[in-house]
Amino acid sequence: MAARIPFAARREAVHMEVVKATSDRALLEGVILPLVKQEKIWEHYPAILHGLWAAVWSSFFLGLCRILEFREDRKRGSLANLLRRIQSGEDPTDNLPRRWEAKRTEFQDAIPARLDRIREADGRLAMLRSGYLAHLDMTKVGHPDLNVPLDELKTFLAFATEVLTDYYLAFQDESHTFEPSNFRHEPQQFLKWCRLDDYATHHAPG
């Protein structure tokens, strides 16, 4: 029989997956997209830019797949399984902040709807995850569900962040940020320092 996974360990695993996915999103939006959108650098280094985009986008996508997996499996550290443990009363109940009692009730009441939303997101991600990223399933080539826009992936991440933010407030009286603070300024500074913020100007023929 598998060892019982402590609630705190499961919560921390989901938290760290959200942090990693948030970092991947920040890299995509703060570094890679600004490079890809520059015609001249794309013209000079298409293989490098395509490789960077594919690597970080795949990491972001698969992180969301882990976070939003709906399958009920006590071994897996998904957001759905975390909510199920809270719903079943597994979350420690000692030292709960009294002022957020109504917020906890609201959180518990919202779990079924949030599980439904996770099921929908998992279904949306499943085709690309299983048909291409995990298995090169040739029967899925050209299927419309293989196209999942970045903006849609960002809404999935925002949802996961919202759930954890609500949990930490109601059950621990804490506020959390999931994006490393350096990501708010490092991308722009990095591109400028490398003279990649405006490649065509910096590298124009003299």
| Residues whose CB is less than 8 angstroms from the CB of residue 181 and which lie 6 or more positions away in sequence, other chains included | none
Q: Residues 160, 114: contact at Cβ < 8 Å?
A: no
More confident residue, 133 or 151: 151
Q: Do 35 and 200 form a contact (C-beta atoms < 8 A)?
A: no
Band (pLDDT 50/70/90 cuts) for residue 89 is confident
What is the reported pLDDT for 123? 93
Query: What does 58-99 look like in DSSP terms, one character per residue?
Result: HHHHHHHHHHT-----TT---HHHHHHHHHTT-S--TT--GG
pLDDT at 184 > cutoff 90? no
Q: Considering only CA atoms, give the Rg of the chain.
A: 20
CB neighbours of residue 45 within 10 Å: 14
Q: Give the pLDDT of residue 1.
A: 44
Q: What is the pLDDT of residue 195?
A: 84
Whole-number Å distance between alpha carbons of 56 and 75: 26
Neighbours of 184 (CB within 10 A): 12
- Which is higher by pLDDT, 75 or 161? 161
3-state secondary structure at position 24: helix
- What does the alpha-carbon distance between residue 60 and residue 18 come to, in Å, rounded to a whole number? 10
pLDDT at 2: 55
Write out pLDDT tens, residues 123-145: 999 888 887 777 777 777 777 77
Q: What is the pLDDT of residues 194-205, one digit of tens each?
A: 888 888 888 766
Entry field: residues in the chain: 206
- Predicted local distance difference test score (pLDDT) of residue 196: 82
96-125 per-position pLDDT tens digit: 788 888 999 999 999 999 999 999 999 999
Which residues are CB-neighbours of 100 under 8 A, at least 6 positions away?
Answer: 169, 170, 171, 173
Q: Position of tokens 């109601």?
A: 170
Cα–Cα nearest to 169, from 96, 93, 94: 96
pLDDT confidence of residue 197: 83
pLDDT exceeds cutoff 60 at 206: no
pTM for this model (two decimals): 0.89
pLDDT tens-place string over residues 13-54: 999 999 999 999 999 999 999 999 999 889 999 999 999 999
